[in-house]
Structure 1
């Protein structure tokens, strides 16, 4: 899988660089992220839950920053294991470039997946990866710009979590409360008759 994308961040290059290296901020922005812990120089252990089509799993992995050219670019080397769901590994090249008072972030990801995830098909895997990247950058942009859009981005994350798995019993959400309505069991229906 290869994915390239460019995003404009509403902050100066140095601010964007510092945010990209803030593990607390990254934990808030990465969809499904449970933890990011240091593991040596410029390396981190991650745990996150992700859904790709019908496969939902908890992944544990390691991410290492290489070829660091502060505040312009670095390469992320990553690998993760999701048990029976499979694995993912690859690299991401991240570049920051000043654009007036803003910063243009460009990244290129080259990744390989295996196990059940690979059996799902490349279209679903690519779509799930793009959706996760979009949610991450929506959250990241909101966090670095300091506006209230982060709450909206978190709502989008909840939608991502629901996409890969059936929500409850498949009932539509209630329009007023947003909660999933529960279908009554057939035994409850018969007992009322």
Structure 2
């Protein structure tokens, strides 16, 4: 699986770099994260609970920061075990670039492999879950950095539009969480 995205953060590049290296901020932003603890130089142990389709598990893993070019980029190498649910491992290259005095563009490319039950449920569900987790992370990260409501609303609208798979909605209609999950439930029953 490969995931490539970019996001505009409402802070200067140095502030974005500091936040990406602050374990308290990361713990608050990563969906299902229970702990992030230092485990050597530029290494961390992580525990989180995640659900991918019908598979929900508690994962324990390790991430290592490599190729550090502060405050511009680094590579995160990660691996985790979820017991009977399987495992995940891979890497993500993260790049920060100033987009003016008060904003920063964060771009990343993540490559991951999964095994066990996670691999059996299909790449479409795994990819969808990864995009959903990434979207939630950046929504929370923007809030932690003091992002304005408009930027967060724009990202939520883009996410909702992609989840609706192009189906038109009545103006002013709210999309319920049940609607967002319906395609996942349908696929997992197949």
Q: Give the structure-2-normalised TM-score.
A: 0.78
Matched, 1:34 2:34: yes
**1:145, CA displacement in angstroms?**
1.9
**1:108-119 alignment to 2 at 5 Å?**
108-119=109-120
SS for the counterpart of 1:139 is helix
Instruction: Identify unmatched segments of 5+ residues in structure 2.
Output: 156-176, 186-190
Contact 2:10 2:147 in 1 (8 A): no
Equivalent residue number for residue 94 of structure 1: 94
RMSD: 2.4
SS for the counterpart of 1:64 is strand
Deviates more, 1:57-66 or 1:139-148: 139-148
**1:40-189 alignment to 2 at 5 Å?**
40-100=40-100, 101-145=102-146
Deviations 1:119-174 (A, max 9, x none): 0000000000000000000000111126679xx99xxxxx6xx95999xxxxxxxx
CA–CA distance in structure 2, aligned partners of residues 138 and 58 of structure 1: 23
After the TM superposition, list the runs of 4 or more consecutive aligned residues in structure 1 that deviate by more than 3 angstroms: 146-149, 162-166
Contact 1:90 1:110 in 2 (8 A): yes
CA–CA distance in structure 2, aligned partners of residues 9 and 3 of structure 1: 19
